[in-house]
């Protein structure tokens, strides 16, 4: 049985992955505005971004570096407003060309921090 908390977190993270895959600027920005806290922080080995606009700018940079690639999410593990999940990216329907994992903190049903790690 899946708890409602786990289901909610899984839905939140599915939306997060959808934001990374969204190429339409306005749609992606709308997703981000509803997904992150106002002062959200995204950190990975290449960037430290604070705020929804800075996070969106990083997503655009990634999309430009990896045109046509899409993310898929792996298993989600969560408790106490913290979640950890694996991800991979590659061409739609093709083999992954990159992978890693993220650990996120959640505040008021939104992502407050995202820490990304590359495999």
Please report, for the chain, the start and end positions of each structural domain, with discontinuous segments joined by +: 4-118
pLDDT in tens, 6-52: 569 999 999 999 999 999 999 999 999 999 999 999 999 999 999 99
Tokens of 74: 């792996």
Domain 4-118 CATH assignment equals 3.90.45.10:
no
Closest CA to 88 of 114, 60, 57, 116: 116
Q: Average of pLDDT values for 97-108? A: 98
Q: Is the pTM of this model over 0.85?
A: yes
The contacts of residue 93 (CB under 8 Å, 6+ apart) are none
What is the full DSSP assignment across 67-118?
TT-EEEEEEEEEETTEEEEEEEEESTTS--SEEEEEEEEEETTEEEEEEEEE
């Amino acid at each position: 049985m899946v708890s409602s908390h786990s289901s909610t977190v899984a839905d939140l993270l599915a939306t997060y992955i959808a934001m990374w895959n969204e190429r339409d600027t306005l749609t992606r920005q709308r997703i981000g505005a509803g997904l992150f806290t106002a002062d959200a922080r995204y950190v990975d080995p290449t960037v430290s971004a604070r705020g929804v606009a800075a996070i969106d700018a990083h997503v655009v940079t990634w999309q430009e570096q990896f045109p046509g690639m899409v993310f898929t999410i792996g298993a989600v593990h969560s408790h106490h407003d913290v979640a950890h999940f694996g991800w991979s990216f590659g061409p739609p329907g093709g083999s992954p060309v990159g992978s890693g994992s993220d650990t996120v903190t959640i505040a008021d049903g939104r992502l407050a921090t995202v820490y990304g790690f590359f495999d």
